[in-house]
Structure 1
Amino acid sequence: MFHGSIPALVTPFKNGEVDRKAYADLIERQIEGGSGALVPCGTTGESATLSHAEHREAVSFCVEVAAGRVPVIAGAGSNSTREAIGLVQHAKDTGADAALCVCPYYNRPDQIGLEAHFRAIADAVSLPIIMYNVPARTVSDVQPDTVIRLGKLPNIVGIKDATGDLARVSLHAAGLQGEQFVQISGDDPSALGYCAMGGKGCISVTANIAPEQMAKMHKAVQEGDLATAQEIERKFIALHKALFVTPSPGPAKYALAKLGLCSGEVRLPIVAPHDAACEKIDAAMEIAGLI
């Protein structure tokens, strides 16, 4: 069900509130561009600074606009297991196809705690769950042995891996032979290599800016056309990097504003990119042929 280029959608703001019109337009642009699924309320969607009501409404709105045309993987993670279960239950109730659950942050659970966290969510709600491992943000890292044990549960169906450690693709696959477990990159710069190792796609920041091109790259990988995929990747590698020149999603929102698709407004403690950063983003967009 989950493959290809999958945008980690930004949540557009206008005067401090969620801009529903811009959000709907961005969702339509992704579907028209060939994205394989949509992820509302992930890291790039500024989930950490959305209120609980805004989070739930953004997920419901995305499901409504997508209207079954592509799967919706609702961001539903928390450092509180109880809160994560509530968000996953809401995702199920609103019609999302799956939930993306980040490893608990700040608490620094060990592997026993991480496994117990994901098992509790899986036991509580009958919805496909994709684990999200991003140690650079959470300071907790679900190790391959733990992933393998969790991947044998019926409704833990995959992982978004933002570690940049490509060897994990093979380690997970070796331990989960015969299981329907999807591995998705969470790191644009290494996504092509990740897919070559056996991954099925990327939950992408860059896809916000260039949905058609990212979808085309992943389609080429799936079809075995590595030359085309490499050609696209070489045009976009500078943009992959530039979108993190200051804390995300400031650069992504700046790029979208440059294209006239939404405002560049972000919420504190994230701030808009400074002038030197904007110059780097502009240069990367020019290399990619976007401006």
Structure 2
Amino acid sequence: MTPSRPSRPFGRALCAMITPFTSEGALDLDGAQALSERLVVEGGCEGLVLNGTTGESPTTTDAEKSALVRAVSEAVGGRASVLAGVGSADTRHTVELAKASAGAGADGLLVVTPYYSRPPQAAVEAHFRRVADAVGVPLMLYDIPGRTGTRIEVETMLRLAEHPRITAVKDCANDLLGSATVIAHTSLAYYSGSEEHNLPLYSLGGAGFVSTVANSAPRAMRAVLDAYDAADTAAAARAHHRALPLITLTMASGLPGTVTTKGLLGALGLPAGPVREPLQPADRATVDGLLAAYEELAQRYM
């Protein structure tokens, strides 16, 4: 018997979607709509997370962020949840982004811990509460201390869970004990943000994943959850193992996941375009390796 599942406010299988650009580096809204349609209709994604790490949010303008949310919401709204990343190092700016994204049609907001300034936990808590109080849509907190320099500590998370609009967490803390503790004591929906933890976190009561690899192989990523939900844990483990080569090359090759994903999508003829500087494109050898891993996985799922 698998344990009862928690609420899934945004679905189970969410893709951390890239932001397509034209060959000249401009925002490609037609490409974004085409990619989002593919991910939802063909790939089985139940939610799309825009303007996050994979979406190159540090190098897109506020206007581009809102335009992307509006375009994708028009393309897939009603068929999948659309979440918008609104994190910044500035609480006031984060609130402005949150209001703009909600106004552009986002179903929820991904809010990262303020970075660089390394605020203490009381300030982290106040930041998230300020954003949650400013909008009428639910929040997914983004706990990724490896990038921000600051963890959302377990006790802070337990207090934030009491806010009616703080409903979910994208978990990149790499602390299964801490995550399991929060899951056990709150109704927060925990989404794995690290593909290697998709199955372990799900087995502990997680709600699903927010996956970069789902840009290229959404059905392969979802297959792990489908097998687990069917009470076939052995099949879930096999599906997880099959995806590891592509996960490794995409997320653990020494390059950002945005770079590897755009390299692979471009080779597959899908909307992607270049990355914005300071990121640099993947080299030919990297793309060839990604293609080989993708094609091996595609024989079973695509």
TM-score (norm. length: structure 2): 0.91
Match of 2:231 among 224, 239, 243: 224
Deviation at 1:203, TM superposition (A): 0.3
Range with greater deviation from structure 2 (144-153 or 271-280): 271-280
Q: Give 1:2's aligned amino acid.
A: F
Deviation at 1:264, TM superposition (A): 4.3
Once residues 164 and 3 of structure 1 are traced to their aligned partners in structure 2, the CA distance between those partners, rounded to angstroms, is 22
Structure 2 counterpart SS, 1:240: helix
Q: Give 2:250's aligned amino acid.
A: L
Q: Give 1:76's aligned amino acid.
A: V
Partner of 1:124: 134
Partner of 2:279: 270
Once residues 87 and 211 of structure 2 are traced to their aligned partners in structure 1, the CA distance between those partners, rounded to angstroms, is 17
Deviation at 1:108, TM superposition (A): 0.8
Match of 1:186 among 186, 190, 193: 193
Partner of 1:22: 31
Preserved CA contact (<8 Å) 2:216 2:265:
yes
Preserved CA contact (<8 Å) 1:162 1:185:
yes
Match of 1:260 among 266, 269, 284: 269
Q: Give 2:182's aligned amino acid.
A: H
Partner of 1:7: 15
Partner of 2:77: 67
Match of 1:105 among 69, 91, 115: 115
Structure 1 counterpart SS, 2:19: coil
1:1-291 paired onto structure 2 within 5 Å: 1-14=9-22, 15-32=24-41, 33-176=43-186, 179=187, 181-244=188-251, 245=253, 246-289=255-298
Preserved CA contact (<8 Å) 1:2 1:182:
no
In the alignment, structure 1 segments of 5+ residues that lack a partner are: none
Q: Give 1:101's aligned amino acid.
A: V
Once residues 217 and 264 of structure 1 are traced to their aligned partners in structure 2, the CA distance between those partners, rounded to angstroms, is 29
Once residues 289 and 148 of structure 2 are traced to their aligned partners in structure 1, the CA distance between those partners, rounded to angstroms, is 27
Partner of 2:4: none
Identical residues among aligned pairs (%)? 35
Residues 39-83 of structure 1 show CA distances to partners (whole Å, capped at 9, x for unaligned) of: 111110101100111111111111111121111111111111111
In the alignment, structure 2 segments of 5+ residues that lack a partner are: 1-8
Q: How many residue pairs are counted as aligned between the two chains?
A: 288
Alpha-carbon spacing, 1:95–1:262, altered in 2? closer, same or farther (3 Å):
closer
Range with greater deviation from structure 2 (54-63 or 226-235): 226-235
Deviation at 1:277, TM superposition (A): 2.7
Structure 1 counterpart SS, 2:49: coil
Preserved CA contact (<8 Å) 1:169 1:198:
no
Preserved CA contact (<8 Å) 1:3 1:184:
no
